[in-house]
Structure 1
Amino acid sequence: MSCAEARDSARRVLAAQDAPPALTDDVLTVVSELVSNAVRHAGGVSGFQVTVRPDRVVVEVSDRSALLPHLQPASPRTPSGFGWRVVRTLAPGTFVRSHRNGKTIIATLPTRADRPPGP
């Protein structure tokens, strides 16, 4: 699955639930970061799902790598390495579930007005 396919899928799910534009933007950012990291660093996406609940949107991205994501030190000389920080900011309930075939990252974005400010 490519980033574009994942974003299109997420956009359809969110549109069906009449998600507000700001929430949609945040979810699409999280989807882009998680899927691009799975493609770049973990052999590709092996599972993808977006679920809208009354109080949260849950994004699940699975890959075949056992390596866990980690925060990179901030550096003005490095143009990458900030994606995990963005995900953790927009989806403070994010966690990783390791399994026999790799891992699944479960990012939870609150839907209410008390959402954290963007990165």
Structure 2
Amino acid sequence: MCADYRTDSTDPATAPGRPCSPGPHSPADVREAVRHALEGARRSGGREGAGDDIAVGDALLVASELTTNAMLHGGGVTEFEVMLVDREVRLSVSDHSRELPTPAEHADGLGPMRIGGHGWPIICRLARDITIAELHAGGKRITAVVPLTPR
């Protein structure tokens, strides 16, 4: 079972004459795309491959954090893709920056009580595998694989 959703500035569904806007407009758009892909898998009879509620929540959170990070630190999202393969979801977000993500370092003593700076650690904790690739046209693509079976 494989379902995918892809949006980019060369989307053929874009009407002629309308300005193209690269990537999703918000993390909510990405969460909706992930929900749509998972619901499609459930409707096509792949319910067990579409994940339980906790796994789905993990996938939605990782997608949201990848997108937020691209928007805040990567110059904006240039492409988003979600693919369901067997019992995992592969989430790919591309942005304009070649700078690699790093955990935030703050010397304020607040530690985990600090607002912000938690996105990359959340992604690293919930994803089974993370790949970062430089893009020939510039920027990078981060792909995170989130299992859809109970941990």
Normalization by structure 1: what TM-score? 0.87
What 5-or-longer segments of structure 1 have no aligned partner? none
Q: Deviation at 1:76?
A: 4.1
2:45 is the counterpart of 1:45: no
Partners of 1:112 and 1:78 lie apart in 2 by 31
Paired position in structure 2 for 1:13? 37
Deviates more, 1:95-104 or 1:30-39: 95-104
CA contact (8 A) 2:94 2:139 kept: yes
Q: Structure 1 pair 27/77, CA: closer, same or farther in 2 (3 Å)?
A: closer
List per-residue Cα deviations over 1:6-58 (Å, max 9, x = no partner): 11111100111122222211111001100011111111110101111113110
Superposed counterparts of 1:1-119, under 5 Å: 1=24, 2-18=26-42, 19=50, 20-73=52-105, 75-76=111-112, 78-100=114-136, 101-113=138-150, 115=151
Partners of 1:22 and 1:105 lie apart in 2 by 22
Matched residue SS, 1:48: strand
What 5-or-longer segments of structure 2 have no aligned partner? 1-23, 43-49
Residues matched between the structures, number: 114
Q: Deviation at 1:95?
A: 1.8
How large is the Cα RMSD of the aligned pairs?
1.6
Deviates more, 1:71-80 or 1:13-22: 71-80
Partners of 1:67 and 1:94 lie apart in 2 by 15
Considering only CA atoms, is the larger Rg found in Structure 1 or Structure 2? 2
Q: Deviation at 1:72?
A: 2.5
Normalization by structure 2: what TM-score? 0.70
Q: Which 4+ residue blocks in structure 1 deviate beyond 4 angstroms?
A: none
